[in-house]
Chain A
Amino acid sequence: MTAVAEALENATDRVESHLNPPASYDLADHPVPTGREEVWRFTPLKRLRGILDGEASDAHLKWDTTLPVGVTLTEITAEQARELELPPNERPAALSAELSGGAILLDVPAETVVAEPVVLRLTGSSVDDLVWGRVLYRVGAHAEVTLVLVHEGSARYSAIQTFLVGDGAQVNVLTLQDWDDDAVHLGRDAIRVGRDASVKHTSISFGGDLVRMHANVEYAGPGGEAELLGLYFADEGQHLEHRLFADHNAPKTKSHVVYKGALQGEKAHTVWIGNVLIRKVAEGIETYEENRNLVLTDGCQADSVPNLEIETGEIEGAGHASATARFDDEQLFYLRSRGVSEKEAQRLVVHGFFNDLIRKVGIPSIEEKLLETVEAELAKNVLKELV
C-alpha cells in the first residue's frame, strides 16, 4: 500500500461523527459544559446539582440482585474495566470511569441460556449522595439472557455502563428509571453487538427530577441487530432526556429505534435525540428510528431531533419519523364514529399509545408492572379528567 493510499484509508476510517464527540478517558477532552454545546443545549445544567464538577465520592447505591445459576457478578479494578469497556465520549461518563474506583462485571458465559430474568435493583437513599457507577455486562457467544436494571430511591447518580454481546448471543436489557422526585441520573449505556447477535435495549424513565440517558450501539461484526426501545412519562417540572446513537460500523447490521413519551403538567420537558451514523463500510445495513410524543396538557415541551449521517448509499434502508402532538383528531373521530364518547376515546388512544410499546418489551413480569405504572401516571392528571 502506498503512503498516500494508506493515508486516505486512515482518513476515511477516522471520519468521526459530528454528532458525537470522540471517545476519551482524558477529562481535559470533556470540559465542563457551558450549555451552549450541541450535546448539552437541551439539558438544564443547574439542576445537575454539581455532578459535572467531578467531586470524589465513595457513596454507593444499594444493590439487590437475583443471580440465576451460571451468572456471576464480580468486582474488577479500574484497569481491568478499561481493558473491556467502550470508552466515554462525554463528561459524566468519563467522570464515572475516573471516580468510581473500580467496576462491577456481570458475566454470562458462552452458550448459557438463562431462563429467568437477571434482576439488579439499585436503590439510592438520598439526593445528597453523589454516586459514581461503572458496570460492565459481558454476554458470551450464543448465550441468551434478559437483564433488568431497576433504579429506585434517590441519589445523584452518574454511571458508565458497557454491554459486550458475543457473537450469536441474544440479549434483552431493560433499564427502568423509577426514581423518587428529586433524583438526578446521568447514564451512559454503550452496547457492542457481536456478529449475528441480537440485542434489545429498553430504557424507561418515569421518576427523577432530571434523567439523561444515552443508549449507544456499535457492532463487532456483520449481521448484528439492535432494537432500541424507550418509554418516558414526564410530569410537572421533570426533565427526561434520551440520547440514542446507532453507529453502523459494520456491514449488514440493523438498528431499529422506537421511543414513545407522554408529557403532562407545567414545565414537563422531554428530549429525544436519535443519531444514526452509517459509515462507509456499512453496506447493506438497515436502520429506522421513530419518536412519538403525546402532549397531554398545556405548558409542556417535547424536543425531538432525529439525525442521520450517511457515508454510503449502498444500504437496504434508512428512515426516521418524529411526531409530537396532542390527541390525533382522526383517531378520535374514528372511535367516536363508533359511538365511543370523546373521553373514552381519549382513554383508548392514550392506553394504546403505551401498550403498543410495552408489549414489545418482551419481559412479561415487567410488562405488567409497566402497565400499572402508566395507569398510575395517567391517574394523576389525564384519567382524573376522563372519568
Chain B
Amino acid sequence: MSTLEIKDLHVQVTTEDGPKEILKGVTLTINDGETHAIMGPNGSGKSTLAYSIAGHPRYEITSGSVLLDGEDVLEMSVDERARAGLFLAMQYPVEVPGVSVANFLRTAKTAIDGEAPKLRTWVKDVNGVMERMNLDASFSQRSVNEGFSGGEKKRHEIAQLDLLDPKVAILDETDSGLDIDALKVVSEGVNRFRERDGKGVLLITHYTRILRYIQPDFVHVFVDGRVADEGGPELADELEANGYEKYTKAAV
C-alpha cells in the first residue's frame, strides 16, 4: 500500500524582502494506486509543493504535515524520504559532471534497496529500461544530465522512476519541453509504473496535453498556493476549454 497525505501545508521561501509564503494551506491525499494531476498557472506554487515534499532546503515548512503510509515525511532528510519511497522527477534535472549514468543508477539503487543489485539482472534491467525509453547504449557512460537534450533529461528521469521503483512518484512538469514522440515515450514509462501494484502518482503540469496519455483519477486546480477546485478527469477538459481565468480572477 502507499498513501501520501498532505495536510494544511504552509511553505515559505526567503526573499530579499523577507520571507514569502508560497503554499497557503494545501490538503491533498493520494490513496493506494491513484494518479492525481495538479494543474495551475505559472507561479501558483505547483513546483514548490513538489520540492517541499522532496525536502529541498530552499523551502521552509511553517506548518502542516506530509505523511507517507503514516510516517512523518517532514522529519526525514532528503535521502531518507527517497528511501522511504518518494521519488521526484524534476523539471530541471541537475548536471553532475564526471559521474556516469551507470554509476549513478547503481549507487541510487543500492541506497534505496539497502544492498547492491545482482549484477546480471541489474545490467539486463538497465538495458531494458534504456531501450524502452529510447536511450541508446552509450547513454549509460555519459555524465549525469551533462549535455543531455531536454528530452533526454526527462527520459532519464523516467528511467530512474522505473528502476528505483518508489511508492509514490511526483512528476514536476515532466511534459515541459517535450516533442510529441518524447511525450509518448515518457507517458508510456509513467503508465508502466502505474500498472504496478499500489503506486501513487502526483502529476504536476501546466498543460492538459500529457493527460491524454496519462489518465488521472483526480484533477486539482492549483491557484495562489491553494487547491482552488477539484474533480475527476472531466475537470481537465473544462480547463482545456476555459483556461484558469475564472480561478485566477477569484483569487485576486
Interface residues of A (CB under 8 A from B): 328-331, 333-342, 344-345, 348-349, 351-357, 359
Residues of B contacting A333 in the complex (Cβ-Cβ under 8 angstroms): 56-57, 78, 94
B248 to chain A, nearest CB (A): 31
Residues of B contacting A334 in the complex (Cβ-Cβ under 8 angstroms): 90, 93-94, 96, 144
Give 10 CB contacts A-B under 8 Å.
Answer: A334-B90, A336-B79, A337-B55, A340-B79, A340-B108, A348-B107, A352-B143, A353-B97, A355-B98, A359-B98
In contact, A330 and B94 (Cβ under 8 angstroms):
yes
A271 to chain B, nearest CB (A): 23
In contact, A339 and B111 (Cβ under 8 angstroms):
yes
In contact, A348 and B79 (Cβ under 8 angstroms):
no
Residues of B contacting A349 in the complex (Cβ-Cβ under 8 angstroms): 96, 99
In contact, A354 and B82 (Cβ under 8 angstroms):
no
In contact, A348 and B103 (Cβ under 8 angstroms):
yes
Checking A339, A341, A348, A359 against B96 with a beta-carbon cut-off of 8 angstroms, the contacting residue is A348
- Proximity string of chain B (164-183) to chain A, C-beta cutoff 8 Å, 1 when within and 0 when not: 10000000000000000000
In contact, A337 and B96 (Cβ under 8 angstroms):
no
Q: Other CB < 8 Å A-B pairs besides A336-B79, A340-B108, 16 of them?
A: A328-B94, A330-B94, A331-B96, A336-B77, A336-B82, A337-B78, A338-B87, A338-B111, A339-B108, A348-B96, A348-B104, A349-B99, A351-B98, A353-B97, A357-B98, A359-B98
Q: Which 5 A-B pairs have the closest CB atoms?
A: A352-B98, A356-B98, A352-B99, A339-B82, A338-B108
Residues of B contacting A351 in the complex (Cβ-Cβ under 8 angstroms): 98-99
A373 to chain B, nearest CB (A): 16
Residues of B contacting A330 in the complex (Cβ-Cβ under 8 angstroms): 94
Q: B228 in the interface, Cβ–Cβ < 8 Å?
A: no
> For A335, A349, A355, which residue has the most chain B Cβ atoms within 10 angstroms?
A335
Interface residues of B (CB under 8 A from A): 54-57, 77-79, 81-83, 87-88, 90, 93-99, 103-104, 107-108, 111-112, 143-144, 160, 164
In contact, B107 and A353 (Cβ under 8 angstroms):
no
B199 to chain A, nearest CB (A): 17
Q: How far is the CA of A333 from the CA of B92 in the complex (A)?
A: 12
B146 to chain A, nearest CB (A): 8
Residues of A contacting B78 in the complex (Cβ-Cβ under 8 angstroms): 333, 336-337
A121 to chain B, nearest CB (A): 28
Residues of B contacting A342 in the complex (Cβ-Cβ under 8 angstroms): 77, 79
A375 to chain B, nearest CB (A): 14
Residues of B contacting A341 in the complex (Cβ-Cβ under 8 angstroms): 79, 111
Q: How far is the CA of A137 from the CA of B200 in the complex (A)?
A: 65
A371 to chain B, nearest CB (A): 11
Residues of A contacting B79 in the complex (Cβ-Cβ under 8 angstroms): 336-342, 345
A230 to chain B, nearest CB (A): 15
Q: Are A340 and B57 also in contact (CB < 8 A) when A334-B90, A352-B99, A354-B98 are?
A: no
In contact, B94 and A356 (Cβ under 8 angstroms):
no
Q: Are A339 and B83 also in contact (CB < 8 A) when A334-B96, A349-B96, A349-B99 are?
A: yes
In contact, A337 and B82 (Cβ under 8 angstroms):
yes
Q: How far is the CA of A209 from the CA of B81 in the complex (A)?
A: 45
Q: Are A338 and B103 also in contact (CB < 8 A) when A333-B56, A333-B94 are?
A: no
A70 to chain B, nearest CB (A): 35
> For B81, B93, B108, which residue has the most chain A Cβ atoms within 10 angstroms?
B108
The residue on A at minimum CB distance from B81 is A337
In contact, B107 and A340 (Cβ under 8 angstroms):
yes
The residue on B at minimum CB distance from A354 is B98
In contact, B164 and A338 (Cβ under 8 angstroms):
yes
The residue on B at minimum CB distance from A329 is B57
